[in-house]
Amino acid sequence: MTSENEPRPAPAGSAVADAREPITPSAAHRTGLFGLALGAIGVVFGDIGTSPLYAMQTVFSIDHNAVQPTSNDVYGVISLVFWSITLIVSVKYVVFILRADNDGEGGIMALAALIRRQLGTRSRRVAVAMILGVIGAALFYGDSLITPAISVLSAVEGIEVVAPSAHRVVLPVGIAIVAVLFLVQRIGTHKIGRLFAPVMVVWFVVLAVTGLPQIVAHPGILRGLSPTYIVSFVTDHPYTAFIAMGAVVLSITGAEALYADMGHFGRRPIRASWFFFVFPALVINYLGQGALILHTPSAIANPFYLLAPNWARIPLVVLATFATVIASQAVISGAFSVSRQAVRLGFLPQLTVRHTSKAEGGQIYVPAVNWLLFAGVFVLMITFESSSKLATAYGLAVTGTLLLTTTLFLILAGSSWRWPMWRLVVIGVVFGGVELTFFAANLTKVVHGGWLPLIIAAAIVTVMMTWQRGRQLITGRRIEAEGPLPAFVEKLRANPLPRVPGTAVFPHPGKTTTPLALRANTEFNQVLHEHVVIVSLQAENVPHVDPAEQITVDELGYGDDGIVHLAVRVGFQDDQDIPRMLRTAVGMSSELQFDPETASYFLSRIAIERGTAPGLATWRKRLFIGLSHNAANPATAFHLPEDRTVVMGSRIAL
């Protein structure tokens, strides 16, 4: 069971019910726009902010230096980089995609959920959207594994610039840094952002300071901002331009993480940080690198570091090491958000989710995801050993996610926002055309390492679709086994059972069906407690719910049978402490007159067995059962006392 309330049909043993409102107020209004914008610089823009380290160098080194340091090629590359960042990040993501927030949350799964929420569950478009969302989330997980590995390795490899003989310590130091990075996740993204923000502010200032002198010395590089040079580049060297696109995409890695991290900081702080600080610094640095390459062709060996004077290169290596480590934070925090969204949509089992902020619901820590990512990154680092070997795998997951996000946005804008067809076509052609070219260019890397994110994505898609399908089958059979609660109460009134002293509390998703533990207790023990309380938690997307409005009592049509239902609204910062809620509820109704300190708690747990029923292949049944065994424990989440908690199981064949 999660430590938060997930607004989706919950399994037996859960007391979480669905709740859709109210929407969390903007984080900027609560914490301050400047503070959140500063924190966003430290978390959200780390990935895209460190792209100047390797993007231009990679462009001029691909395919045996197919791109030459000539004026046409340099202007063409600069134009490609500038317009890629402008169209994909500034216009598509920051202007358009950030508008598609699901109760303040972003990411491809949140986008798919928003479509389902606004169009209903029976639409064919919704089914397509959910499948695309799952694939996009799986690709994002692949990116979440590769980005920390390649970023940290590329950072630590800077040691070799200072001392070439130190190459043996690169991998151990990189692993140590990754371990520390994942260890500090538990303190929360807002606190991490405050720690990282000063470093990233210095980083972006340095980007601008190192690039500006070259622009001043060679102002002609500004001509590269004209899109006409893209046309010339493609016309003169179509194949070279196509291959170059596979490296140019490195300049926009981190765009999807920017969207996924929206729940951590809010839309306005991210937009403010991007347009007023991050975007200008990136453009200035890329222009500076272009000017340097144009007038010093040998600088293609490492244009970023060669922008700096000799005395500043060692400090720059140190700063770049910190910055690239920080770059990993964007995808890690984004993976937390995507994971919670997947749980809410029923594509992953219940996960323990810890809220790390008292004001912002999007700031979360998911221990299971954190340590699985760490294990995956560790394996990648041990296997590939260097950033250059991982470079060929980089890009395919990013470009695939870009395409899927555009597709989902078009579905949302056309079906829910009712945008006219001409606008959808323009957006699809402009954004989709660029991203499709990026994707096609990266397909050439499949046999050279691009298979890695595809295999990771395929494995995650299999897990998510298996859990979703298995959950549907089990939920249907569980509901059938539970039966309707009104009919159960009527049967008890018609055929009264012996009543025993005490209070029995049954956590349950709602009041339409009977808790399995309650049914089992009456059928096998042939007794009923004097007081029976069914408790359902309703998740609200606010920090706290007013205690006066938190509990609703329903006597289920009768005021004398001792059976009552409590609907408890909880915010994301409210403890799911059912005993405490029970103490609050005592006396709110004539049916609620008992000593809560003597109440017993009965949890319904389902033992899933592999059966012969159709619906899932045998190997997928085994996978589902394995996942269900690792779901979070509801007794811990609900703060139930061990000495007064009984788990009553039921067996359901899958």
Tell me the pLDDT tens digit for each residue of 253-273.
Answer: 878 777 877 766 778 888 999
Same domain, 88 and 42: yes
Task: Determine the pLDDT at residue 190.
Answer: 59
Residues 272-285, mean pLDDT to the nearest whole number: 94
- DSSP 8-state secondary structure symbol assigned to residue 93: I
- Other C-beta atoms closer than 10 Å to the C-beta of 634 total 26
Mean model confidence pLDDT for the chain: 81
Among 353, 440, 376, 417, smallest CA distance to 111 is for 417
Model confidence at 123: pLDDT above 80: no
| Angstrom distance (rounded) from CA 402 to CA 397 | 9
In a domain, 236, yes or no: yes
Q: What is the bridge-based pairing of β-strands 354-355 and 364-365?
A: antiparallel
> Domain count of the chain?
2
Q: Report the C-alpha dihedral over residues 175, 176, 179, 183, rounded to 10 degrees.
A: -170
In a domain, 14, yes or no: no
In a domain, 388, yes or no: yes
Same domain, 362 and 491: no
Q: Which of 48-52, 272-276, 360-364 has the least mean pLDDT?
A: 360-364
Q: Which residues pair with 646 in a beta bridge?
A: 602
| CATH number of the domain bearing residue 243 | 1.20.1740
pLDDT digits (tens, 9 = 90+) for 596-650: 888 999 988 777 777 777 778 888 888 888 888 777 677 777 888 888 888 876 7
Banded pLDDT at 75 (limits 50, 70, 90) = very high
Tokens 């107020």 belong to which residue? 25
| Angstrom distance (rounded) from CA 508 to CA 485 | 11
In a domain, 462, yes or no: no
**Strands, E, within 186-302: which ranges?**
none
Q: Which of 199-203, 304-308, 606-610 has the least mean pLDDT?
A: 606-610
Among 138, 108, 137, smallest CA distance to 411 is for 108
Banded pLDDT at 543 (limits 50, 70, 90) = low
Banded pLDDT at 54 (limits 50, 70, 90) = confident
Q: Which of 53-62, 284-293, 404-413 has the least mean pLDDT?
A: 53-62
Task: Determine the pLDDT at residue 142.
Answer: 82
Model confidence at 575: pLDDT above 80: no
Q: Which residues pair with 181 in a beta bridge?
A: none
Asked if residues 270 and 108 have their Cβ atoms less than 8 Å apart, the reply is no
Highest mean pLDDT among 56-60, 228-232, 320-324: 228-232
- DSSP 8-state secondary structure symbol assigned to residue 62: T
Same domain, 487 and 444: no
Domain end among 405, 432, 449: 449
Tokens of 355: 């809220």
In a domain, 20, yes or no: no
In a domain, 5, yes or no: no
Banded pLDDT at 18 (limits 50, 70, 90) = very low
In a domain, 4, yes or no: no
- DSSP 8-state secondary structure symbol assigned to residue 308: S
Task: Determine the pLDDT at residue 1.
Answer: 34
Determine the structural domain holding residue 635 and report its residue range: 480-653
In a domain, 454, yes or no: no
